[in-house]
Amino acid sequence: MNAKKQVLVIDDDAVVGRSFNRVLSEKGYEVSTALSGEDALQTMESKDFDVVFTDIKMPGMDGLEVTERIKARCPWTPVVVITGYGTQANEVRASVLGANGFVRKPLTPEMIENITLKAVNDAAPAAEVNEAPVEQAKTEIVNEAEVPRASNSVAKNIGLFFASPFIALGYVIALPFVGFYMFAKLGREAFIKKHMSE
């Protein structure tokens, strides 16, 4: 099954949406457009998208707020911020909000195609992880790794519990001998030193 990748372009300038549609529809994508953040969020309630492009400067909800809301609702959906008013502060904020890219207008057809391809490819591994049977993976980890480690750990703890009095006793018995040896050694060295100096 070769379903078309779904692209959403959010920009209050309809020309931008038409440009994306012209470039990407030839490459096998299906492009939807929204003229505001509010319209985009409403569209996303009934349709899933493989990548979302949003302008920053729009009336009402700006592109950064749109990014934040999309990421809160669909964290796996890549969002690329496009703007004619790019600043370092906006780039940093977009990155913190989870944007997958930040590009400045004007956009060439090659840029549109490359950015879309990169966003879709970057999202694919994350989507596969999200769709994996998490509970089954957890069960396998518990069955294969945790149980043997737990039983080994319990056996070691029980062994140490019973062995600890004997280990302590060994130290108690050995300590006087070690002390006596050290005392004798120091005394011998002092004796030799004293006789050599005479």
Tell me what pLDDT residue 190 has.
73
Token pair belonging to 55? 């302008």
CATH code, domain carrying 19: 3.40.50.2300
Does 146 lie in the same domain as 51?
Answer: no
Query: Rounded to an integer, what distance in angstroms lies between the CA atom of residue 23 and that of residue 121?
Result: 18
Q: 73 and 90 share a domain?
A: yes
First to last CA, the chain: 102
pLDDT of residue 151: 47
Looking at the fold, whether 154 and 179 belong to one and the same domain comes out as yes
Q: Structural domain of residue 95, as residue ranges?
A: 5-132
- Given 117, 132, 147, the domain boundary residue is 132
Q: 108, 132, 156: which is the final residue of a domain?
A: 132
Between 57 and 181, whose confidence is greater? 57
Higher-pLDDT residue of 159 and 7 is 7
Burial (Cβ within 10 Å: 0-12, 13-18, ≥19) of residue 66: buried
Average pLDDT over every residue of 23-31:
94
pLDDT, one tens digit per residue, over 128-156 is 544 444 344 333 333 333 434 444 555 66
pLDDT score, position 95: 87
Same domain, yes or no: 127 and 152: no
Do 100 and 28 share a structural domain? yes
Of 48, 51, 80, nearest in space to 67 by CA: 80
How do residues 59-114 score in pLDDT, each as one tens digit?
Answer: 889 999 999 999 999 999 999 999 877 678 888 888 888 898 888 888 899 999 99
Preceding amide of 106 cis, omega within 30: yes
Residues 10 and 95 in one domain: yes
Contact 23, 53 (CB under 8 A): no
Q: What is the per-residue pLDDT across 29-50, written as a single tens digit (0 to 9) for each?
A: 999 999 999 999 999 999 999 9
Distance CA 130, CA 63 (A): 26
- The total number of structural domains in the chain stands at 2
| pTM for this predicted structure | 0.61
Give the integer Cα–Cα distance in Å for 77 and 96.
15
Same domain, 74 and 113: yes
Enter the tokens of residue 168: 């302590």
Residues 125 and 141 in one domain: no
